Amino acid sequence: MKQIFRSKIFYLIIFLVILGVVLIFNNDEEPTEKLTADEFFTTLADGKVTFIEVEQRKSVIEISGRLAGYEKDQYFVASVPNNETSLDRMNNAAEEQEIEKMEFTPYIETSGWVSLFTATTPFMIISFLFLGLLLFRIIIKR
């Protein structure tokens, strides 16, 4: 009876670890539409954009927002070059069209150590769980 119970716990733990990894790496928030820089500026100048969220990266500006007629969970994504011309063009069009809401997120670069730690942590956890389960199986057999 103990062997059956322990083997079910083993498979349950394996299942939960796999489920956790899948849920962590699963991203359901796919953009409804990907716009090029020209398409974005055209729709912005036409007044079809109602909301903009701007996030600066090193060489590009990633813009996500909502077009007129979009539902609450639908949005677009566009990338434009991070230069003065693009910023001026976006600001002028946004002022002319009176966009309801604009959010700007400044660029914050994470350190290499943090990136390394967050990338390797899931693998270390899985390795420790596997090692623990292996040692648990060896101890039970004795």
- The angle at the Cα of 58, spanning 74 to 45, to the nearest 5 degrees, equals 45
Residue 90 corresponds to which tokens in the numbers above? 């976006």
Q: Kindly tell me if the per-residue pLDDT of 5 is higher than 60.
A: no
User: Which pLDDT score is estimated for 120?
Assistant: 94
What are the phi and psi torsion angles at 64 (to 5°)?
Answer: -125, 150
**Cα Rg of the chain (Å, integer):** 24
Q: What is the pLDDT of residues 74-133, one digit of tens each?
A: 778 888 888 888 878 877 777 777 776 677 777 777 788 988 999 999 999 999 999 988
User: Which pLDDT score is estimated for 4?
Assistant: 56
Residue 120 corresponds to which tokens in the numbers above? 């390797």
Q: What is the pLDDT of residues 9-51, one digit of tens each?
A: 778 888 888 888 877 777 555 556 788 888 888 888 887 777 7
Closest of 136, 116, 141, 138 to residue 9, by C-alpha: 136
pTM here is 0.51
Q: 31-109 — its CATH code? A: 3.30.720.210
Length of the chain: 142
45: exposed, middle or buried (C-beta count within 10 Å: 0-12, 13-18, 19+)?
middle
